[in-house]
Chain A
């Protein structure tokens, strides 16, 4: 069960999670769809509104908390994971969500993101990746593709982009997933799974910024081509894609290759079968690096693991210390150490 579970009272609806604030994203922005999916999933979780906190940093995506009728904290650039950490450690019963972007989470706040994930706090991190800086009007971001021309890189960038899922895996994150803003069904199912995961859940969401980086993902997320150019990975199932579901991914050594079922003797049993919970996240890492046009772009849950949560361990230590030494009091505290009396 997710944190903050409260089954009392009538089941809330999607509308209960919307606020009276005018949503200020540009018309057509991918953020709308993500907001709608989160609001849709919330009532399913059985968590009372007052027990949910959305924390964000700075950037377009970070406006998110204003539009959720829960507790919300719109903080400073890159620092949402730190605020969320303080909330979760001091109030483990709350359901804590972090909304961040590629600049906020992977550039200015990169350090916090990796450490929050390695601690495995039971928080949910939604990283809206639009591969651009939107709020500051169009500079390249750490996920912008190599050579991209933007306002701050008129001759093209000189930087290799970072792989958000690779960062999450390297940070020992216990739930690593990817989805896409416009694939609403897939997105909502991944958000719900993340919510139910116990530990840090990280979802990279491809999000279209139609003002400064329109069509960044169009080549593979467009409805007409999606089935051929993306692959939904599912636990225990072979990696199959394509309109006729005749294409698949086979592993040759450490190298994934695209094959066609029925051609050159390839059958479904030759295909790679996805495992979300392997001993080592090596396979998830390989999948995270598959990109269009060489490969279909994978979405789904890449990796998950069950590990003790930071806030839980901290809580346990307090319980154990109290059992061993007895609960502290002012008198005990002040008299600890070598005392002596003066008469």
Chain B
């Protein structure tokens, strides 16, 4: 990328560090998500490894200045390979008292705190429930505080753009961004280009935001408020082409890729729901691809239409979060009975009921594996990182079409909204998706199975001679006619279960991270991968006898899972729920899995996992 810039190169003293964690916090109207995303985009282009954690309130605009309205974006970036957005920020940028109050507890001791002093008015302090002004009451003495009148400096800087006062004030996030860019030696060019594109129809706004950005940068450079700035060298990533990607973007990209690989169009039926709506937004853009999106009248219609599309020969996909899955359950049963390929993407959030719409949780595992009437098995896969959503989205359709079954794709809010660098795979490394319809009339039976996979044929309307009827009533083996015969019912129930069980021989075995046997095995699934792996890595470096495995396949489990579990004295299962995977493991393998459970709407900190492992090792 170009490094051309109108700003002067920094003159202050440079300190090299390898990892930094910054958290931007402000009112939900302050543009903190935008600030964080811009910082992450530039950081990716600079060549650091990174991981992000956006955290926003459920209300779109909670009353300004209140604790409920605080929105945050945390990013960790490094010259090393990192897997989490960091336990605690080293740098906190707080735009108002409420943001400071709700986040200061997380800031590392001695960390950098940048605050907008203009926002510390009596009114804002009262809204945040601060009895005294933290900037004056010495409560912040443990931190390196930079109290800067961000709002008034922004207003001065953008004056020439001629915006209203309100509009001008809203540019202050770019001022703050400029400041932090300077502090960590990031160029402003990418954001400048972005502003120009974004506000191409609004010249004044483009100008004002650019002025604010540059003013922030130059302010840091010239005023010597900061005596230091920091250098984080490029990370030693594997050679290749990269792109910063969020989990939801990777999910959408993976599903479209599945369509292109299989030669079958993608049909996405969905109803808006946090935090899955971004998948709908993303897929709706790709109209020049074999992708059709359908915003349904409700969750049930979304899956019904996806099933109809599958029946018609498309890759039927529906996406939602836990409450939506609850509504779709009956239809999932229909897809199990009619044995049609279907993928259900659940971007999990805190539950039960409406729960915590914007917060992450892993408590829908039981729902995916077990949550339907009758014996109703489906395959379940779960991506481990934002970028892994790409691979697992393709994998979900590979399984769905190969075994003619619904497949759950269990992501969550943390993965969906979090971002990391993604090494774009060359086309040659993508899996094959060999999807075939039955066209041969001779010997056709709707429920005649492939001897290996037990899949029934995919015979789509429009194929002469294969006219047949399917539905939710129990099917007679082979013919697919309605049957209430008791023996046949048991046979079919067992066949459907066996079909899912056979997927185990079609998926990779689990690989142990660390030694193959030993004292403690940590077993994770889904979005806890980063925190678990970082914790285990850290302890392994200290010579502790701990290993880990990460399950991306939850139903069926990988074929060697039982063997691996038995090679360790103790098994620890960290999950963002009250012990769903550990119960499944206990039930299946009679292994005394010990849970480490957290349900706070937040991902694990690495330290929480290291502590639990150390305790197990001691005990």
Contacts and interface: CB of A to CB of B under 8 A. Distances in A.
A66 B469 contact: yes
A330 B257 contact: yes
A149 B427 CA distance: 67
A111 B297 CA distance: 7
Contacts of B482: 66
Interface in B286-314: 286-290, 292, 294, 296-298, 300-314
Interface string B308-348: 11111110100000000000001101100010000000000
Contacts of B306: 86
A314 B195 CA distance: 32
Contact of A86 (B261, B289, B316): B316
Given A74-B472, A93-B462, A340 B241 contact: yes
A74 B469 contact: yes
B297 A112 contact: yes
Interface string A316-332: 01101110111111110
A94 B334 CA distance: 22
A50 B45 contact: no
A334 B424 contact: yes
Contacts of A52: 461
A94 B304 contact: no
Contacts of B302: 82
A48 B461 CA distance: 11
Contacts of A282: none
B305 A333 contact: no
B491 interface: no
Interface in A190-212: none
Given A76-B334, A91-B313, A321-B288, A115 B469 contact: no
Given A89-B292, A314-B292, A342-B242, A115 B297 contact: yes
Contacts of A339: 241-243, 424
Interface in A220-242: none
Nearest to A4: B462
B349 interface: no
Given A74-B472, A330-B257, A335-B424, A86 B267 contact: yes
Interface in B267-298: 267, 269, 286-290, 292, 294, 296-298
A75 B334 CA distance: 7
Contact of A53 (B244, B461, B471): B461
Nearest to A343: B239
B1 interface: yes
A342 B237 contact: yes
B145 interface: no
A255 interface: no
A326 B289 CA distance: 9
A86 B467 contact: no
A292 interface: no
Contact of A79 (B237, B331, B463, B465): B331
A194 to B, nearest CB: 20
Contacts of B314: 86, 90
Contacts of B294: 85-86, 89
Nearest to A88: B308
Contacts of B260: 328-330, 333
B292 A333 contact: no
A48 B312 contact: no
B243 A338 contact: yes
Contacts of A114: 297
B47 interface: yes
Contacts of A88: 308
Contacts of A82: 296, 300-305, 307-308
Nearest to A64: B469
Scoring B242, B287, B313, B461 by chain A CB atoms within 10 A of each residue's CB, the highest score goes to B461
Contacts of A330: 257, 260-261, 427, 430
Interface size class of B (residues with CB under 8 A): 35 or more
Nearest to A318: B287
B471 A75 contact: yes
A327 B265 CA distance: 13
A84 B249 CA distance: 29
Contacts, number: 214
A172 B513 CA distance: 60
A318 B469 contact: no
B473 interface: yes
B257 A90 contact: no
B92 interface: no
A312 to B, nearest CB: 12
A252 interface: no
B237 A340 contact: no
B154 interface: no
Given A76-B330, A90-B292, A321 B308 contact: no
A59 interface: no
Contacts of A317: 287
Interface in A48-71: 48-53, 55, 58, 65-66, 69-71
B461 A94 contact: yes
Contacts of B425: 334
A76 B472 contact: yes
B197 to A, nearest CB: 11
A91 B481 contact: no
A333 B308 contact: no
A27 interface: no
Given A50-B464, A75-B304, A86 B470 contact: no
A45 interface: no
Contact of A73 (B44, B298, B333, B470): B470
Given A70-B467, A76-B331, A89-B267, A83 B241 contact: no
Contacts of A89: 267, 292, 294, 305, 309
A90 B291 CA distance: 10
Contacts of A327: 288-289
A327 to B, nearest CB: 6
Nearest to B45: A340
B470 A83 contact: no
Contact of A337 (B243, B331, B462, B481): B243
A172 to B, nearest CB: 14
A330 B260 CA distance: 7
A247 B103 CA distance: 81
A78 B376 CA distance: 21
A340 B240 CA distance: 8
B289 A328 contact: yes
Nearest to A51: B462
Given A74-B470, A337-B244, 4 more contacts: A76-B331, A87-B461, A330-B260, A337-B249
30 contacts: A48-B464, A51-B462, A70-B467, A72-B468, A72-B470, A74-B473, A75-B304, A76-B334, A79-B304, A81-B304, A83-B307, A85-B305, A86-B294, A86-B309, A86-B310, A86-B314, A86-B316, A87-B312, A90-B265, A90-B314, A112-B298, A317-B287, A330-B427, A330-B430, A334-B425, A335-B241, A337-B249, A342-B234, A342-B239, A342-B242
Nearest first, the 4 A-B pairs at minimum CB distance are: A86-B308, A82-B304, A74-B471, A321-B287
